[in-house]
Amino acid sequence: EDDMFKPVIAATAALAIAGSTYAYAQQRFEGHGRYGNGGPGAEHQHRHLSADDVSAFADARIAALKAGLELTPDQAKNWPSFEQALRNMVQLRVQRMQARQAATAQGTQAPNANAASPFDRMSHRADAMTKRGAALKQIADAGAPLYQSLNDAQKARFTMLARILRPHDHRHARS
pLDDT in tens, 85-97: 999 999 999 998 8
| Chain CA centroid to CA 61, Å | 11
Distance, CA of 41 to CA of 39 (rounded, Å): 6
Tell me the HSE value of 57 on the side-chain side, using a 13 A CA sphere.
14
**pLDDT confidence of 67, banded at 50, 70, 90?**
very high
Q: What pTM did the predictor assign?
A: 0.64
